Amino acid sequence: MKRNQSKTTVLFAAFCLSLMLCTFASASETPPAEAAQEATEEAKPKLTVSLELGEVTYKHYCTPCHGMKGDGTGFNAGSLLVKPANHTDAKFMSERNDAKLFDTINLGGVEVAKSTLMPPWGATLGDEKIKSVVLYLRELCQCKATKSW
């Protein structure tokens, strides 16, 4: 019985010591509020509109339907009832100005009276990435807009 009691005391003391050490260790770390701020700043790097960002974004999100070359022949294209647009078609693309392309990507096909099979990307990508993708679309079609919308 006595041995058991002293064992319990030793265990209890060890437990207290580890608690103290933990409290001490966490107190010396960055305060949680600051740490949280650092984390969000890291997770949200400041984006700038660029062709490079557009290309990376396009290749990640758009190629499954529009194809690696942007010609509308992605691996999903065959199973869609409406064919994905061919972004290398200069005539087709020049009939859409940058604002219209932005709206199409941001809000989806349905917002520009096109198929709902073209999804809305606003919530996933945000303005900078969409503007960058528009730059990349102009690179793919090697064309400028000839219409006002």
Distance between first and last Cα of the chain: 89
From 49, 56, 71, 76, residue interacting with ligand HEC (rule: CB under 6 A): 76
Q: To 10 degrees, what angle do helices 51-61 and 122-141 make?
A: 110
Closer to ligand HEC by Cβ: residue 28 or 125: 125
Closer residue to ligand HEC, CB minimum distance, 64 or 126: 64
| Candidate segments 4-12, 23-31, 33-41, 98-106, binder of ligand HEC by CB under 6 A | 98-106
Window 115 to 144, contacts with ligand HEC (CB under 6 A): 115, 117-119, 121, 133
User: What is the 3-state composition of the chain as percent helix, strand, coil, each rounded to the nearest 5?
Assistant: 65, 0, 35
How far, in Å, CA of 80 to CA of 111, rounded?
Answer: 19
**Least separation, in Å, of the C-beta of 93 and ligand HEC?**
8
Say if residues 100 and 92 touch (Cβ distance below 8 Å): no
Asked whether position 108 contacts ligand HEC by CB under 6 A, the answer is no
Quick one: which segment of 11-19, 40-48, 76-84, 141-149 binds ligand HEC (CB under 6 A)? 76-84
Per-residue burial over 70-86, b = 16 or more CB atoms within 10 Å of its CB, e = otherwise: bbbbbeebeeeeeebbb
Q: Which residues of this chain interact with ligand HEC, rule CB under 6 A? A: 61-62, 64-66, 76, 80, 82, 84-85, 96, 101, 104-105, 109, 112, 114-115, 117-119, 121, 133
